[in-house]
Structure 1
């Protein structure tokens, strides 16, 4: 579900949280609401209109206990404003217990949907000179569970309403108030004000909390103590409280609170409205030609799960039908997975909490000649989870591009040392694939053919040879393997379903690929005398090159030929996993860690690399961290008597413990999520039925690969998180050349009469259309690679969300 971001043109909506039960949340809410009910008491800060009035609302999302004692009735009685309760349970217990007792568990999205509808109704009902104030009061403390058992701070986080935190005035209240604040802060809430009731001055709660929260530039306010109602009759209590609210609501202290809340809202709106213009003055954006760019700067206020909360602009039209109804913020599906980093969802509280823990425990510590628990445990977990028996060592860097450079250093040194080459004085290149790209640092750029990304970089040299290859495409409902021009003598192959493309046993021997690769190597190595130190490629899909789906049988064959080719004398070794031919480097920065549905994309090729590179999803998208994994034989290439023979590479934040600790959490969560029901649902939709295809069988592997204890009896099925029906439909559209779908990735190549490639504008129009929300209630943010538009899901993405995105795709295409 998508939610509007808690900021409307004519509505001040605030959420009231308590540091604990019994701290006076309802009393504080009543005081503020009654204050705003007084005519002429305040002029709305965002409109200069003397005759304006307030429309005041109170919402209790979840309430427990008898209806006669409900907070909604109490507030209505004394504040005289509109009130409502969304979910009511009779038992005066924690909501998760009351829900079980009532046999009526109301789930989070239901509560959020009802709350969003209530909040959105108010701006639509306001007259021209009327503005709204709504307080949303939670039940219990910040982390008290809702009906589903989810803490309320997590239930209401998608709306991210500004918070009034009612502190605890009692003994021990300092600790509970600060703990509540920290729980909200970790989840990305803005605490606009802290309110605490006057109590025993000897406890010093207010004075201490005022000082503590001032460090965070948060104001703390004190309210007059609630009258003593002990031994009062209901009539006496009513009179006392009526007099209390009448007096306190007009108190200057309450006026200052109200003005502060209005001022905070005004500041937030002003900041959001000016961010784009200020950005144009100060920021140099990546991948942008600033002289000709006409794109609006998209302003993000926050992000949660699959969605951004973005400032409404003409490009994102559809958040509301008029200026009065329009939310200032609206939801937008993160269709690029934030440059491929997102898998576990934005604002994930588990990742945030673990990052805070590691920051508090370590900060950062240097790593040369040292160790710490997160770095070691992450290395051990990575090697186990990737199930590559060759991997014995892990080297940490900061991002995918630098991890590639480390992998290239490893491979080139190992090859040069074995074959007696001097790479510093004679040219030693790499073997790769056309259209591949391995990063923006200068060394990684040299491992790719000339392209729009690198050929204008003045130090670029392009050191290598790049094979052309057959591509996998879905065209008009049929999966095809289309040979390149270099293989013009090969016929196009057709397959009934995607699983058949990966059924290497059924496809038979790839002798035509072997002959093509061997002949090319003979020309390069034997005839031209060229030297190569590595094979580097992205397994299965080339990301930045345009979401190109390479025939996996070709990639498997390329690795086998490279490993068996005679590049020079190879010493005998007892290590069955030692590299042969050339070191094989798999760049899984994009394709790895469940992006394509598996822990390692290498499993699709049923072959193991000697060096494996991972980043992007490694930390769940909240911190930069990368890992280059290597075999023992690669590691031993750097052993020697002098330090100069070592791998002299590193940076200040190598193996930073915050990133490593978060990555451990991320890997655990990714593995657990891949086994949840929604993933099985995705897989079942792509499983061939009724004899559609023969069961997939394991290909015959060479002796070295067959020795791995981790080899399954049969490879798992190949599937996509995007529905088979929609993918097939898109492939039939006349403006679509072909479609690619695997795991979380969906790529659509549009026809362009002027040619395909990164400089094509064929997909730009579709990208701009998807930004508008239409009838979905949210927009779709996507990136284009020339004539290719692609979308990515997260590991936690739910079918209903993706199906809504699919409907938008079909409508706009």
Structure 2
């Protein structure tokens, strides 16, 4: 699988390989402008993963990639030339580490010139190799084969690849190897000269170089073309231009490969030659990224489901991926109330479904009429999506103004927040709770994040919260308000500004609304909803984003309805589930079809998404079991309280961002507070004008992270929410990667 790059900035034609094939000795004798170098060579002519066993040091994929990248970089002198990276073996042959070579070289995503198989069975071998590369996001520019009359593979494959807009050509096979080395060298020299002058070879060379030039031209033009044609979400377009739009050539693992017109001009002045710059995906691509970009296992799973099903009608039908996913969610959430899974396309629509479920159940039990005004109870700065229904349920202050179509039918409560200030964990009551600060007393600060979740040790705070919730609900009842549901984003309020709600307060609120005096259960079933249905919006916080399968487990309560999306498919496809209790489901049972939950989508429970979700959850559950995240958890472990216990105890609350780093940045002069949980880090920056969604206090740090420093190999792409800069890792991000990210963030906060 030779892979080539003509960045037109290499001074020579250079062959690079992971093991030395016999023709390299001939290649280096052709011209003084041709140089060949073997980066890795082993004593035995066997597969690299076996040959590498003789090496004193293990050869990792990262070390091979670094060696290839560094070697190619030495030829970026500004002169014209072509660099060729020749691999050893086939597309899926093992690398020295044991991974497939297609996966090994994927982060470089060099354009591919593939050598096909001209022998018996070679048609299937060549097509399979191409499909393996195509599936992983490689661009296969050309395919070459030896011409062979008996099997005539080259004729068939030329037509096959032409239908797929891939250039294929053939050349005569090389002469037999001669026993005399001098004569053999002369024979090969003559063969190379003749083959190099063939019309097909000349056409291939021109085509390959043209394709490379077009790739660069298209990449450079994308920001300007996007400025003309694209309406971007969640941004004011007066702040956007062709110079600020980032073109993404590809993505793999934790990184985008990005092009920026603005950065190109800065790099030119700094004498940098790289057109593409890797950028750490600091927002986890709007919180979806879980298993890394370009994950080959997810891509294979998606391809299999697409080949098996495509998309099939789901109304009144079922397919295996959807059934298995529903069963997994019901089982693994550990919530005995949940029994039915409803599929939709994204978190916003999933939340709209959840509200319809809850309001129907509350209306049926309470005997409310369609004319009654029914409120939703939630938290200030909550945000549950962009459909008209969910926008109605979000607290208006998120945008600092009320738009005319934004009715905001709800009652929103301010809430205590968890923050780290100057190295100290604090639970800070809202300003509207008069006298609450004095009531908190010593209970307002904590030695560790684990202590915040130790509800048994927080009896004083619990008494305060219980009284507040009881008085609030009594006031609503006295005023004749009808509340149809409680909606919470457990632990973290995401789009509203990355706010860490005190889990004890959320727990007390759930228990308060389930008070039997409000609306007792209609039966003795302890899993039936009481008071009002409780909806947990885990679109962002669920499925290991905060370190656990279920974010509800942090509160030790069982909601009646749970919505999941984002990490559900590991960051590959849109899909959402709304999982409800049996008593919620039964509120829709009737002989009248109009009483059913009349909500659905053309692509409901699409098989590709469900299959990918199953693979994603299987992978993350395995990571949870096999100790993948132990290195992160150890950073948050606390000393044992008993001398008879081990020196540390495993923490219940942990983050992929190190405890030492979080504490260090909390002391920065421009930082108001910080917190980290699971893969999420949030840094609230001080703003003299006040902290709000409209604040620009964090944009300077964001821009500094993306600009990077001269000579840096990669930068950080991030997003901000007002004065809050947040970063997220994928669940597969390594400790080594995050250590470098932490260093860059710490420096950017100066």
TM class by shorter chain equals over 0.9
CA apart distance, 1:805: 0.9
| Residues 636 and 326 of structure 1: CA distance in aligned 2, closer, same or farther (over 3 Å) | same
Structure 1 residues 693, 776: CA separation in 2 closer, same or farther (over 3 Å shift)? farther
Partner of 1:740: 675
| Aligned residue number for residue 708 of structure 2 | 773
Instruction: Say if 2:400 and 2:693, in contact at 8 Å, map to a contact too.
Output: no
TM-aligned CA deviation for residue 268 of structure 1: 0.3
The answer as to whether partners of 1:496 and 1:693 remain within 8 angstroms in 2 is no
1:397 CA displacement: 0.2
SS of the residue 2:12 aligns to:
strand
Distance in 2 (alpha carbons) for counterparts of 1:630 and 1:270:
51
Q: Distance in 2 between matches of 1:692 and 1:453?
A: 49
1:525 aligns with 2:477: yes
Mapped partners of 1:434, 1:633: distance in 2: 28
Residue deviations 1:313-340, cap 9 Å, x none? 33478868755x4111110000000000
Q: Secondary structure at the match of 1:608?
A: coil
The 1:318–1:577 alpha-carbon spacing in structure 2 relative to 1, beyond 3 Å, is farther
Asked if 1:313 corresponds to 2:261, the answer is yes
Match of 2:465 in 1: 513
TM-score (structure 1 length as normaliser): 0.87
Where does residue 469 of structure 1 map in the other structure?
Answer: 415
1:798 to 731, 734, 737: 734
Post-superposition Cα deviations, 1:141-174, rounded to whole Å, max 9, x if no partner, equal: 0000001000000000000000001111111111
CA contact 1:341–1:620 (8 Å) conserved in 2 = yes
Q: CA deviation at 1:486?
A: 2.8
**Aligned counterpart, 2:19:** 63
Q: Distance in 2 between matches of 1:715 and 1:262?
A: 56
Match of 1:84 in 2: 37
Name the structure 1 match of 2:597: 647
Q: Deviations over 1:226-255 (max 9, x none)?
A: 1233x6543432222121112222222221
Does structure 1 residue 107 correspond to structure 2 residue 60?
yes
Residue 186, structure 1, aligned to residue 135, structure 2: yes
Q: Is the 8 A contact 2:282 2:729 kept in 1?
A: yes
Is 1:420 equivalent to 2:367 in the alignment? yes
Could you tell me how far apart the structure 2 residues matched to 1:694 and 1:630 are?
45
1:16 — aligned with what? 2
Q: How many residues were matched structurally?
A: 738
Distance 1:319 1:505, change over 3 A: farther
Residue 49 of structure 2 corresponds to residue 96 of structure 1: yes
Q: Which residue of the other structure, out of 770, 775, 782, is the alignment partner of 2:718? A: 782
Q: CA–CA distance in 2 between the matches of 1:441 and 1:101? A: 60
TM-score with structure 2 setting the length: 0.95
1:812 and 1:715 map into 2 onto residues whose CA distance is 32
- Alpha-carbon distance in 2 for matches of 1:310, 1:111: 22
Instruction: Name the counterpart of 2:147.
Output: 198
Q: Is the 8 A contact 2:423 2:667 kept in 1?
A: yes
Q: 8 Å contact 2:113–2:141 — kept in the other structure?
A: yes
Residue matched to 1:482? 428
Change (3 A) 1:71 1:513: farther
1:663 partnered with 2:599: no
Q: Is the 8 A contact 1:342 1:617 kept in 2?
A: yes
| From 528, 537, 541, the counterpart of 2:488 | 537
Unmatched runs of 5 consecutive residues or more in structure 1: 1-14, 18-28, 34-43, 48-52, 696-713
Cα 1:602–1:45, aligned 2, differ >3 Å: closer, same or farther? closer
Please say if residues 26 and 189 of structure 2, whose CA atoms lie closer than 8 Å, have aligned partners that are also in contact.
no
User: In 2 relative to 1, CA 756–102 (structure 1 residues): closer, same or farther, beyond 3 Å?
Assistant: closer
How far 1:639 sits from its partner (Å)? 0.9
Given candidates 283, 292, 317, the residue that maps to 1:370 is: 317
Counterpart of 1:601 in structure 2 is: 551
Q: Return closer, same or farther for 1:795/1:320 CA change in 2, 3 Å cut-off.
A: farther
Out of 171, 175, 183, the position equivalent to 2:124 is 175
Unmatched segments (≥5 aa) in structure 2: none
Match of 1:3 in 2: none
CA distance in 1, matches of 2:294, 2:541: 23
Structure-2 residue corresponding to 1:556: 507
Local SS of the residue matching 2:629: helix
Which of 673, 691, 694 matches 1:759?
694
CA RMSD of aligned residues (A): 2.3
Say whether the 8 Å CA contact 1:686–1:724 is kept in structure 2.
yes
Change beyond 3 A, Cα 1:158–1:693: farther
Report deviation, 1:452: 4.7
SS class of match (2:89): strand
Q: 1:626 aligns with which of 566, 576, 592?
A: 576
DSSP 3-state at the match of 2:590: coil
Shift, 1:559, TM fit: 0.3
Equivalent-residue separation in structure 2 for 1:427 and 1:693 (angstroms): 59
Residue 460 of structure 1: aligned partner: 406
> In the TM superposition, what is the alpha-carbon distance from 1:431 to its structure 2 partner?
0.4
Aligned equivalents of 1:79, 1:456: Cα separation in 2: 72
Larger deviation, residues 404-413 vs 239-248: 239-248
- In 2, the alpha carbon distance for the partners of 1:438 and 1:83 equals 58
